Every structure is written in structure tokens, then in C-alpha cells.
Amino acid sequence: MEDEKILALYWKRDEGAIRETEEKYGKYCYTVAYNILRSREDSEECLNDTWCTAWGAIPPHRPTRLQSFLARITRNIAVDRVRYASAEKRGAEVESCIDEYWECIPNGDAPIDDEVALREAINAFLGGLDTRTRVIFMRRYWYSMSVRDIARGMRLSEGHVSVILHRTRSKFKDYLTKEGIFI
């Protein structure tokens, strides 16, 4: 079913919207959750939470890209689960990924005054990267893939991927500083 028809079901409050969403995007969202949680059971629970959250968010929100909207919900739920479980030393890969990401944020404790400006700055930064670097950066920091998995998928050495990530984080920090974000 097309996204517009699925969204129409949500707006009608037809529970078939959840069934259609799960049928079309279930595997994709499961992969997003599994890359973060590394647990089949936790990933399945995360999907159930994703469908409930989408049901509560549509309406009033009408996403322009349903797949991205669902991926963002899934990712946020999965990351929250990892943070909750981190006291039990689970989710070390995602915690490592999050720590790496926050290293590149200048003055990361400062409040974000303009989320639109931040989004535009991130999109502009990503748009200025070559395709390979952008894919590596997104796989690591959006999909929370391990360096090993990224290296295998892109047929590079783990060391090469690590160097690319380190240099890109440094460029990202410099870019955000130049743009006045978080300062």
C-alpha cells in the first residue's frame, strides 16, 4: 500500500493503518532496532512501541516521508532502551557510538536554541561530504552499526573506517563551531 493511503488510514483512526505500516516497514524498522539493540526480543518490543507511538503521533503530525518518520521513532525508542539498560552493561556498542558522536559537538551541554538551524546545518554538512564518507558517517551515527559491520559492508579495513569516522567527526565539530551551533 502507498504511504498516502496508509496515512489516510491513520487520519481516519482505522486500526488497519498499523497492520499496513507493519507489513510495509516492519523489516526495515526491525533492522534499525536490531542494529542498536542486538536482541531479537528487544527489537520486537521496540517495533510494538514504534507502532503505538506512530498511532499517537498521526494525527496531528502528517509526515512527508513515512519511512524516515518511522525510522526516527524506532531509533529513538531503541536508544532509550539502551540508555536504560546501560546500567546493566548492555548496549556497549551503541553507548560507544553515542559517546563518539557527542565528542564532536562543541559545548554539547549548551541548549539548542534553534532546532531548524541545527537540522539545516547537519544537512548542509552531510551534503558536502563525498558519498562514501556520508554513508559511513550515517551508518555509524544514525543506524549505530559497528565499525566492523561498516567495514565489511563497504569492503574497507576497520582501521580505514575508524580513520574516516575520526576525521569526519573533527570536520563536523569545526563546521558546527563555524556555523555558531552550540556556542
Q: What total of structural domains would you count in the chain? A: 2
> Please, which pLDDT band fits residue 182 given cuts at 50, 70 and 90?
low
3-state SS record for 110-141: CCCCCHHHHHHHHHHHHHCCCHHHHHHHHHHH
Q: pLDDT tens digits for 110-159? A: 455 556 777 788 889 999 999 999 999 998 888 888 899 999 999 999 99
Last residue of a domain, one of 26, 59, 88: 88
What is the domain extent for residue 161? 92-179
In this predicted structure, the answer to whether residue 29 has a pLDDT above a threshold of 90 is: yes
| Per-residue model confidence (pLDDT) at position 119 | 77
Q: What average pLDDT does range 92-104 have in this prediction?
A: 61
Each residue's pLDDT tens digit, 115-125: 677 778 888 99
Q: Final residue of a domain: which of 31, 59, 88?
A: 88
* Domain shared by 13 and 60, yes or no: yes
> Are residue 74 and residue 143 in the same domain, yes or no?
no
